[in-house]
Structure 1
């Protein structure tokens, strides 16, 4: 068996970042930037009032209590006028451009207006309540770095900068093949049948990541349906094929031999991890990577989180993910020689320190602990008092 770090290194060495494409901002949500994006303009693009009130010429000096000015005009948001050469004060609205030579805004609630004059009862600071041009971001400044996912905050920034199109990494094309003659969709089950949970799980994972899902197929353990499904995925120019089941050493574990007969080159088979030890990674020359995961639900969950997700990150040109080192409330028990992955919860103790609690009664077939945990934990020690904590969903780390 190959060690987990060595297996991951071999796998990622076979990945090259995907090419980029230009998309309208409205179509780029959840995609990854293919290059650094520098601001095409200053934001704000002009000095403007931070609140409703009166703009005055303070000339860099405090306004003494009781000072008054004649009010020349009203400057509203969107007004283009920027010069009142004969005035020392004008009424101004939030977001309105500061007229030329005006440098201070006194809020309306701290002013007294009467007979065309405004009086300020209290002393006011020079330069207050003005949003300076470029105070958010300067023209040419790095706005978003390569690899940044375009989330809602990034969308707001890009829209404010007037960015209409962005260069993003294209979506990876993915196919999922679940093997098992016992697998069924929802509804009544035949004797010996089970509902397929791995296929829907992986489809949901890939949809959440933002892939181009080519197909999700269930195939029996006999016949040529598996080879046909792999061939269809290759013909559709899949970047990644993920299979579940039939990858160990039993009579019906046909996937390794089937992939080899189709021309796939083995990267590794069997990793010193638990759960998920029989995992197989292969590659078709000039074609997709294939990650063949064991069929137990938690082996699939581990395979996705700790093998598939790093592949997706590498395809997007992202740096490797870094976990958080946490203290275990009780030692995380594993087996000597294996890298152990476990589900758990992160909580803050009475001393304010974050502590990890492993979920009870974990087994590769048990799904409920997955649904009630908030973190993955990993350790290579058999009785680990500290572990690496990973977000349950890799999208949270992207």
Structure 2
């Protein structure tokens, strides 16, 4: 049995970044960039007015009370024009006429006269005006050639907006990880529309893993439910590998009981064992292996919270590594509920977060932490991780916390913090 950090290191050593593919930014939502995006242009692409008003030449500051003739008008979308040495009426977003370098807001002027067509003809400034006032300069948001987003960045709506503004129509993103899910246990009923027999339970691990991997951006190739037969398991693993799965996740049959056939079945398939049993709770019997073509196998115990912990703290770090993203930083919170963890084991506990008046996060570890209980997981909004050698934990000490799922906002009542 090895420590959690050692097990994770062994697993991540076999999780190289997946190859890239081209997608439009909108179609690439949620995916990670495979290479840096370089800006093809200045943004803004020209000097323009930040508000409605009048454009003037203010190389030498113009005094409040000075009067200026107005010639012409410039609206957003109008072609470039030469100034005639006088002020120009201008609208927000409109290109500055050549020779003019400042804009005064319309409400900071007094209109003195109209032209025959009703347009402004003469104004008085109510404020001093200097060059650059209320001007958005070309490249002041993004300069041409600048790195807009680095490889590994997850594409979110804000980045889509920026790429659209830059006219970027295609980005290279990491290929979606392909995952196959295998649930074992003759007691499992996979079809929830069918009535349960006395000896059966609804299969919850499969739907959970499908939802969790899907939310994490992976492509789920299959989700099978098998009986407790080693030959059926081997056949399912072969099918998943032949379908191109990068990761095969199975639940159940991985401990030391008479029906726990997964270790021997994987050995018969020629898998290379990375680890079996980790000093952690829940999920101690977890197993990881590789098949000869770089397919990873993660075999989890069948207890629901062992599956949830295995996904969050083993599968999701692999997904991040495949996306070219770094290790996920842990956040910290003040522990509100005392804990007496078993020495030598890393504990992953479901918790609720709150925030005090000073902005500090507080973690309230939920009762009923038994790994078969699902409702506390649905009620929680974070994990508390207690290290193997932490000892007794008194209220007030700082503990590591993580969101329920990586990349997800860490919910704290009406406030949020985010794991990036």
What TM-score comes out, normalization by structure 2 length? 0.91
Residue pair 2:333, 2:360 contacting (<8 A) in 1 also: no
Deviations 1:53-79 (A, max 9, x none): 111112241x32232222211111111
Counterpart selection for 1:383 from 375, 392, 397: 392
Deviations 1:207-263 (A, max 9, x none): 111112111111111363222211111101111011111111112111111111111
| Partner SS, residue 225 of structure 1 | helix
What's the offset of the Cα at 1:395? 2.3
Classify 1:260/1:143 alpha carbon distance in 2 versus 1 (closer, same or farther; 3 Å): same
CA distance in 2, matches of 1:124, 1:149: 46
Q: What is the 5 A alignment of 1:1-398?
A: 1-61=1-61, 63-84=62-83, 86-113=84-111, 114-116=113-115, 117-126=121-130, 127-184=132-189, 185-187=191-193, 188-222=195-229, 224-380=231-387, 381-384=390-393, 385-396=397-408, 397-398=419-420
Between stretches 288-297 and 136-145, larger displacement belongs to: 136-145
Deviations 1:127-160 (A, max 9, x none): 2211111111111122111100011011111111
Aligned residues: 396
Gaps of 5+ in 2: 116-120, 409-418
Residue pair 1:238, 1:287 contacting (<8 A) in 2 also: no
Aligned partner of 2:413 in structure 1 is: none
Classify 1:350/1:57 alpha carbon distance in 2 versus 1 (closer, same or farther; 3 Å): closer
Aligned partner of 2:118 in structure 1 is: none
| Partner SS, residue 305 of structure 2 | helix
Tell me which stretches of 4 or more aligned residues in structure 1 moved more than 3 Å.
none
CA distance in 1, matches of 2:2, 2:298: 15
Residue pair 1:264, 1:283 contacting (<8 A) in 2 also: yes
What's the offset of the Cα at 1:81? 2.3
What's the offset of the Cα at 1:47? 0.6
